[in-house]
Amino acid sequence: MNPYVKRFSLFFVLAATVVFVIVVFIQYYVQGLIVQDQLKAFKCLIERSAHFVSTGYFQWTLMKEAIERNDTDFIASQFEEMMSLDPFIADVTVEDVPPNFEGLYIVESDGERLWARFKIFTDLMEEHAVDKTAKVVWDLDSILEAISADFRFDKEGKPTHFGLRYRYSFHRTWFIRGTLSAFAVLVLILVLHNFLVSNILKVHWETEGLERLVRIVGSVDHYTAQHSQRVSKIAELMGKKMGLRSRDVEALRVAGTLHDIGKIAIPPHILNKPGRLDKEEYETMKRHPLVAAEILKGFPELSEVLPVVLYHHERQDGSGYPFGLKDGEIPLLARILAVADVFEALTSDRPYRKALSVEEALDLMRKLPLDQRIVSVLAEHIGELEKIRRVSSEGWTT
């Protein structure tokens, strides 16, 4: 797990919980709005149905007369036609109940069932039956299914249109949506966090962080600090000339700057010795790639740089250190850094020798156990490399 994710795991859990609660609340609120829209659709459907029944069948002289003379065949055929045209009507009957209500009809309910009573008029509504009404009962389940309602009618529920009462619950599908939404937002938070952390750290290590580490090395050995900056520029240019990805070129640049940071653990009398190192001193010096790797392990954002620094003293024939790797066992970026490091060291003045010229350095490097393909790239672009100046006022010896 990314150490930054682990470090802020509690924050992420809390963030996910807050997001989940917010999402559930929003979805519950939205579901309430949807239910209100569905109730409006239900009301509109009932009103249309009642208008259809009233104007189509109970404002009709033939129907009024058939009811008054109890013509059951005619009445039954018309009611059957009515129910076929409006599939939400469950039943139609004629009752011996006077129409003691205002208007053409009245919709009634017991809280979970719905029906309407209709006055029975002549064609021109000049008169209506005084002792009879028609009763139409609706199939509420069919209506709710037709409008994909998220509620059900219940006598114990909230009041709504026509005296009905309804209730709805937070469906399992909504809960699943809320959970998935919260998880998606958490993933988004993780991605954004890692993106922001990576970019912030990238900027840090490209500016303040690198400068601080370089200053640490420079405080122990001024030559090492300048050498590292020059190696960084050489390695970066070679990476570009070899067509490496920008990510790898950047890793070379940073590795060049930090490749000798392990020398902070080497005693100054060894670092600044004017003559060649003896065997014991050389063994001590050979520890610096391991020390550098240990330092870089503490910075996950430099994970791609670490192996470049660790293996830059390995050689093609296995004579290098710290592990004696050879040929393809050595990562390409480490081989590039090795060539840049050797070239810069050979063309710089040291306490125990003068700098070699570029031609002399290249001749010697062709005999060393370096990756000769990379040495050839270096030689091909020596003109551009000569434009890279030392951090000090001096250039390379030509």
Measured distance CA(238)–CA(244) in Å, rounded: 9
Contact 357, 334 (CB under 8 A): no
pLDDT tens for each residue of 4-28: 555 556 666 677 677 777 877 887 7
Which own/partner pairs from 196-204 qualify as long-range (CB within 8 Å, at least 24 positions apart)?
Answer: 197/4, 198/301, 201/301, 202/301
pLDDT attached to residue 300: 76
Q: What is the Rg, in whole angstroms, of the alpha carbon atoms belonging to the chain?
A: 44
Residue 113 φ/ψ region, left for φ over 0, alpha for ψ in the -120 to 50 degree band, beta for the rest:
beta
Specify the CATH number of the domain 3-175: 3.30.450
Please state the pTM of the whole predicted model: 0.53
**pLDDT tens sequence across 306-342:** 999 999 999 999 999 999 999 999 999 999 999 999 9
Class of domain 207-385: mainly alpha
Q: What is the pLDDT of residue 171?
A: 62
pLDDT at 393 over 50: no
Cβ proximity of 321 and 314 under 8 Å: yes
How far apart are alpha carbons 293 and 303 in whole angstroms?
10
Confidence of residue 361 (pLDDT cuts 50, 70, 90): very high
Helix (H, G, I), strand (E, B) or coil at 155: strand
Domain ranges of the chain: 3-175, 207-385
Higher pLDDT, 318 or 199: 318
Which DSSP state fits 101? S
pLDDT one-digit tens code per residue, 91-104 = 999 999 999 999 99
Number of helices followed by number of strands (H, E) in the chain: 17, 6
Concatenated DSSP letters of 257-319: HHTTGGGGGS-HHHHT-SS---HHHHHHHTTHHHHHHHHHHT-GGGTTTHHHHHTTT--TTS-
How much is the average pLDDT of 60-72?
A: 94
Domains 3-175 and 207-385 share a fold: no
Q: Is 7 exposed, middle or buried (0-12, 13-18, 19+ CB in 10 A)?
A: exposed
Structure tokens at 30: 């939205």
